A and B are shown apart, each in its own frame.
Chain A
Amino acid sequence: MGERLYLHRHSIVHETASYLKVVAAIAFILVAVSTPITNWQAFIGYFIWVLVVAAIAKIPFTLLFKRALIEIPFIFFAILMPFFGSGERFVAGPFNLYREGLIAGAGIVVKGTLGVLTAIILSTSTTAREILRGLERLRLPALMVQIASFMLRYVNVVNDEMERMKVARDSRGFEATGLKHWKVLATAAGALFIRSYERGERVHLSMLSRGYEGVLPHDEVEKSKASSWFMVLMYPFVAVVILVITTLIGNQ
């Protein structure tokens, strides 16, 4: 899973410690989310800055946009907003829209998109395992980290298992077309659970036989240098600068 999302490149963004990247990503999103949408100049600045960082990370824009399609469902929700609401209305072409709804809907789309793009840059420039290391460094409880690393390790195995069951169904001429086929699919889900659980038990036993006592062995963690802190915090910092400048211009 993780290895399919990660794009191997050599860039400053790739080489920065993952926990710093997680902090920077969240800080940037917080700045963007806290900016009032009426300060539209700031958002143009944010988008340019996100694309600049994506370019520094050598992520092709086509990949960035393809992966951003995941946000389509909530864009629908936001698009409805100008049509239902209350307050002042205005006419735009064939539509009679609510001004407040339009502004709020635009805000949701713009801020959501910035969040999605930031998360994509993070997961494209950092392996899943590294993101997990980063979260561990940021005090995510060790047990959660272990659960997540089991998930990463076995997700392909279990997906393949599900795929094999699908091939088995297909080769017997099964085709799911409606409600009447739910029982077959649910039975497959049940079988998948049993196989996953049994695999969990086997993994646990093999861990015990290798001396597992509730904690996983650890590499020594290196302290990040001040310079890499500085580099990575540029990401939210530039956003703050954009926010301050545009606010000042707006107030004049």
Chain B
Amino acid sequence: MHIPDGFIDVPTSAAFVGLSAIGVGAALKGARTQLDDKTAPLAGLTAVFIFAVQMLNFPVVAGTSGHLIGAALAAVLVGPWAATLALTVVLLMQAFLFADGGLTALGLSVFNMSIISVWVGYAVFLVIKKILPQNKSSVAIAASIAAAVSVPAAAFGFWIQYVIGATGTFSDSAVFTSMIGIHVLIGIGEAIITGLTVTAVLASRSDLVFGWKNNQKALEIKNV
């Protein structure tokens, strides 16, 4: 879901460049406090991971396949700050190097995918994790639900941009039902893959999972 040039009018695109700049600026600050000088290599390698994992095809039915978007996955694995940075860099590189997504639409895409999708996903993750019992499978379930919500959340961001500055002629309500409808379906796929991937990482290196880290109990010393 990359927005091309000229799809949303120039004033709206410019306004969202501003909003995205504020969001990414906040993420830069947040990542520095969370990761210190580790930020560049770790967010960089997360960006590579997202970029690579988007090329991993998951077969659906009859020759069709889908791929992961990875906003919620990145937020759970490395934290929302680094996830925002990694996804922004992925979008920047896709637009500048592959012409995938318009250069003047970058602000719109960054807002939808690296800000709304990541943060809505992370908020949902925190809420669900709080409700469920504190164990590894709840982290995977929470990540899964977060992913399911994060995809239509990005589509919702697109819909807002469409309502404000559309150059197309589809009615707002038609765009809403079709975009949200399709992305709820995509979100289900995203949820399954995200849950399974988080489970796999938790099984071997749970210490790397940001959403799990604060959960580790200190070892108890028992007197027998």
Candidates A98, A111, A157; contact of B169 at CB < 8 Å: A98
- CB–CB B48/A67 < 8 A: no
Can you name the residue of chain A whose Cβ is closest to the Cβ of B43?
Answer: A147
Q: Which 9 pairs between the two chains have the least Cβ-Cβ distance? A: A150-B44, A111-B6, A190-B200, A115-B5, A186-B196, A112-B4, A200-B45, A119-B99, A146-B40
Candidates A2, A158, A182, A190; contact of B201 at CB < 8 Å: A190
Please, which residues of chain B bring their CB within 8 A of the CB of A181? Answer: 59
Candidates A1, A101, A188; contact of B97 at CB < 8 Å: A1
Candidates A107, A147, A208, A214; contact of B44 at CB < 8 Å: A147
Question: Interface stretch among B85-93, B148-156, B211-219?
Answer: B85-93
Q: Does B56 contact A (CB under 8 A)?
A: yes
Please, which residues of chain A bring their CB within 8 A of the CB of B168? Answer: 78, 81, 104-105, 108
- CB–CB A101/B169 < 8 A: yes
A204 CA / B103 CA spacing, docked (Å) = 31
Please, which residues of chain B bring their CB within 8 A of the CB of A170? Answer: none
Question: Interface stretch among B31-39, B121-129, B131-139?
Answer: B31-39
A31 CA / B78 CA spacing, docked (Å) = 40
User: In the complex, how many residue pairs between chain A and chain B have their CB atoms under 8 Å apart?
Assistant: 259
| Chain A interfacial positions (CB closer than 8 Å to B) | 1-2, 5, 22, 25-26, 29-30, 32-34, 67-68, 70-71, 74, 78, 81, 84-87, 98, 100-101, 104-105, 107-108, 110-112, 114-120, 122-123, 128, 131, 135, 141, 143-144, 146-155, 157-159, 161-162, 176-179, 181-183, 185-194, 196-197, 199-201, 203-204, 207-208, 212-214
Q: Does B42 contact A (CB under 8 A)?
A: yes
Q: Which applies to chain B's interface (DSSP): helix, strand, loop or mixed?
A: helix
Please, which residues of chain A bring their CB within 8 A of the CB of B171? Answer: 85-86
- CB–CB A155/B52 < 8 A: yes
Q: Does B186 contact A (CB under 8 A)?
A: no
Given contacts A131-B96, A157-B48, 6 further A-B contacts (CB under 8 A): A29-B5, A74-B4, A111-B5, A116-B102, A148-B89, A189-B193
List 13 A-B pairs, Cβ < 8 Å.
A26-B104, A111-B5, A112-B6, A115-B4, A144-B24, A148-B47, A148-B89, A151-B90, A178-B61, A186-B193, A194-B208, A197-B46, A207-B41
Please, which residues of chain A bring their CB within 8 A of the CB of B99? Answer: 67-68, 70-71, 115-117, 119-120, 123
A70 CA / B37 CA spacing, docked (Å) = 36
Given A197-B208, A200-B45, the answer on whether A151 and B170 have CB atoms closer than 8 Å is: no
Please, which residues of chain A bring their CB within 8 A of the CB of B7? Answer: 74, 108, 111-112
- Closest Cβ of chain A: how far from B5's Cβ, in Å? 3
Given A30-B10, A112-B7, A189-B197, the answer on whether A143 and B95 have CB atoms closer than 8 Å is: no
Please, which residues of chain A bring their CB within 8 A of the CB of B224? Answer: none
Given A143-B32, A150-B48, A203-B41, the answer on whether A118 and B56 have CB atoms closer than 8 Å is: no
